[in-house]
Amino acid sequence: MNKQQTIKSEVSFSGIALHTGARASLTIKSAPENTGIIFKRIDLPGAPEVKAIATNVVDVRRGTTLASGEGKVYTVEHVMAPLHALNIDNAIIEMDGMEPPISDGSALEYFTAIKDAGTIVQDAEAQYISPREPIFFEYNGTKMFCRPADELRIDCVTDFNSKDFGTQYMDIVIDTESFENEVCSARTFVEYKDLGMLLQMGLCQGGSLDNAAIIHNGAIVCKESLRFHNEIVRHKVLDLVGDLYLCGCRVNAHIIAIKPGHPTNVQLAQLIMKQYS
Ligand SMILES: [Zn+2]
């Protein structure tokens, strides 16, 4: 049996956050077995903790926001995804603001630093969750299918109605190595037509070509060249790996996700958990 793991030495990050535009720092620290992943807002009185679990999700517009009591943390998915892929079961993530730094819009910096920090194997057995029954649902043009499996396999499709990158597809079994090579460096995308609305909603305040690529008139605008020909769908897989970790433990499932987003990723995590409640 696999054992639970935590991070060996603490790692810190700082920089601009995507949606709030605020500067923030974040430190990932080791935690005892059966702690799970906990965000801690050390800038607030009493340093409230927010457990990274799907029942604590309060907002899914353009990012996954968690809240519990006085604590609230925005856009957790790019931190959660590498923790999931690296099998870090237990960690305390101290933050001095409400949103993690966006870095380059991918999970590369988080993944590399957490991997380099190393892991401590703990005594307790690692917990896995797999759906007991197949799950299917549709929402707003998204279709999600999920069935039991003994690994995390994701088939993902995106479609942006462009002749250059119209339909993108990825079929991947997620483990530390495949996530590192195929997923973690894929960057965030935003559609130009949505930018005005997002800014009006108070989102994307820290967005720039340093941390996001923009889809406009059937073309992709970004600072450097694309990292993968199908970078969009790879980033969708990244978000899904992060959001699924809100099941509270490692996930074993085969998921077919057609045009997924945070609302449906989180709904899937909640539906898997519900089968055990
Ligand atoms: Zn993302």
How many C-beta atoms surround the C-beta of residue 82 within 10 A?
28
With residue 263 as reference, give the H or E element that holds it: helix 262-274
Q: Residues 137-170: pLDDT tens digits?
A: 999 999 999 999 999 999 999 998 776 678 999 9
Percent with pLDDT over 70 in the chain:
99
For residue 26, give every residue at least 6 positions away whose Cβ sits within 8 Å of its Cβ, in sequence order, or none. Answer: 12, 13, 14, 79, 93, 94, 95, 96, 100, 101
Decide if 3-125 and 128-274 have a common fold: no
- Name the architecture of domain 3-125: 2-Layer Sandwich (3.30)
d(CA 151, CA 228) in angstroms, rounded, equals: 25
Could you tell me the distance, in angstroms and rounded to a whole number, from the CA of residue 59 to the centre of ligand 1?
Answer: 14
Rg (C-alpha) for the chain, rounded Å, is: 18
Could you tell me the distance, in angstroms and rounded to a whole number, from the CA of residue 66 to the centre of ligand 1?
Answer: 15
Question: Which of the residues 78, 84, 254, 262 is marked catalytic?
Answer: 262
Q: Where are the beta strands (DSSP E) in 192-266?
A: 213-216, 219-221, 250-251, 253-258
Query: Following DSSP, what letter does each residue of 64-105 receive, concatenated?
Result: -EEEETTEEE---HHHHHHHHHTT--BEEEEESSSS---TTS
Could you tell me the distance, in angstroms and rounded to a whole number, from the CA of residue 216 to the centre of ligand 1?
Answer: 18
pLDDT of residue 199: 81
Could you tell me the distance, in angstroms and rounded to a whole number, from the CA of residue 153 to the centre of ligand 1?
Answer: 19
216 carries an active-site annotation: no
d(CA 81, CA 47) in angstroms, rounded, equals: 24
Q: How far is CA 136 from CA 53, 147, 151, 258, 271, in A?
A: 21, 9, 19, 11, 10
- Each domain of the chain, given as residue ranges in start order, spans 3-125, 128-274
d(CA 258, CA 185) in angstroms, rounded, equals: 21
Q: What is the pTM of this model?
A: 0.95
Q: Does the structural domain 128-274 have CATH classification 3.20.20.70? A: no
More reliable by pLDDT, 275 or 195: 275
Q: How far apart are the first and last CA of the chain?
A: 24
Phi then psi for residue 240, to 5 deg, are: -65, -40
Could you tell me the distance, in angstroms and rounded to a whole number, from the CA of residue 102 to the centre of ligand 1?
Answer: 9
Please determine, for residue 217, whether its predicted confidence score (pLDDT) is greater than 80. no
Q: Residues 65-90: pLDDT tens digits?
A: 999 999 999 999 999 999 999 999 99
Sign of the CA dihedral with 61 first, then 66, 68, and 70 last: negative
